[in-house]
Homo-oligomer: A and B are copies of this chain.
Amino acid sequence: MIIVIRPHSPPDKVEEVIREITQLGYNASPIRGEYQTVVAAIGDETTRASLESLTALPQVERVLRVQKRYKLASRESQPDGTVIDAGGVKIGGDNFVLMAGPCSVESEEQLLATARAVKAAGATILRGGAYKPRTSPYEFQGLGPEGLRLLETARAETGLRIITEVLGENDVDLVAATADILQIGARNAQNFQLLIACARSGKPVLLKRGMSMRIEEWLLAAEYLLAHGNPNVILCERGIRTFENYTRNTLDLSAVAVAKQETHLPVIVDPSQGCGRADLVKILCRGAAAVGADGLIVEVHPHPAEALSDGQQQLDPDAFRELVAGLRPFVSAAGRVL
């Protein structure tokens, strides 16, 4: 780390900083500039205490980290991209995976109709929420275990693999018994107890980026999963919160490119949450493929206007079919196979 000393600090104040650095396990190397002094603290930052607390000293102006804070997630630790096997479906590598299905599992009829339609259009993984994190306690909270049972029925009938969200530590075992991929939602992206519980399940985990998470924090949340023993981590960009209000979130496609560069993990894009508007989903899927995403997760519902959650961002089966048809040239241009 680099410790920036305030201008005009007397030598004994610099010495005090050097002593603290040394005591915290680093080697201190001061550099006296024309205008102010900086002290380089040499040592592995990921295994030693952070020196940011030194800004508590009045003579310390700032502390700048040098090293990246994630290790297992980093591209350096593993130059080749990870390919994850989710019940036989490969995520990563040359594959471009399509996950699709309703926001919430509402009924057997709704789920099966959707499952058949998305399979016919090219999806290999069925999404559907049995447990729904809702902003208001008065909104539909999901069918729970009955929803999981319906997802199993849909898998049995269509052969699609299942991704579904898990909301709480105590539900991990139950949800993992059904799901091929556990989904951790944006609101839980720094629910570290849930991350640890999902890591222990051994199932592939799709980790959504939190609404106001910096990329570094997202990768550190992935690092929790990796460090607790689960190598099967899929990142999912789903939009960040900004001031813009024509879209519900601002889909950050640059973050996909950054994540592909910084890590070896597959990166999926959720354009439905990412913009919150059905009319933009098709075009954003193309953007996602173009920037190097490894696949998509798209909300599809037989009758969006009557959906029990987020109807405004769900496509009907016809629109989804058309989306996939229009997407293929972009997937090919990106050198991927759909």
- Tell me the A residues contacting B by CB distance below 8 Å: 2, 4, 7-8, 20, 23-24, 29, 31-36, 38, 40, 42-47, 49-50, 52-57, 63-64, 66-67, 69-70, 76, 133-140, 167-171, 187-188, 190-194, 210-212, 214-217, 220, 223-224, 227-228, 240-247, 250-255, 257-258, 261, 274-275, 277-280, 283-284, 286-292, 304-308, 310-312, 314, 316, 329-330, 332-334
Shortest distance between the CB of A30 and any CB in chain B (Å): 10
A213 to B52, CA, bound (A): 25
Query: In the complex the two chains form, what is the Cα distance from A215 to B4 in whole Å?
Result: 19
Chain B residues with CB under 8 Å of A289's CB are 290
In contact, B258 and A284 (Cβ under 8 angstroms): no
* Contact yes or no, B31 A31, CB < 8 A: yes
The answer to whether A305 touches B261 (Cβ under 8 A) is no
- Structural contact, A243 and B223, CB atoms closer than 8 A: no
**A1 CB, nearest partner CB in chain B, Å:** 10
Q: Min CB distance, A271 to chain B, in Å? A: 9
Q: Check if A42 sits within 8 Å of B34, measured CB to CB.
A: yes
Q: Which residues of B contact A66 (CB under 8 A)?
A: 2, 4, 33, 36, 38
Given contacts A135-B217, A220-B136, A40 and B34 within 8 Å (CB-CB): no
Contact indicator B170/A53 (Cβ below 8 Å)? no
The answer to whether A306 touches B24, judged by C-beta atoms less than 8 angstroms apart, is yes
The distance in angstroms between the C-alpha atoms of A29 and B38, with both chains bound, is 12
Closest chain B residue to A214, Cβ basis:
B244
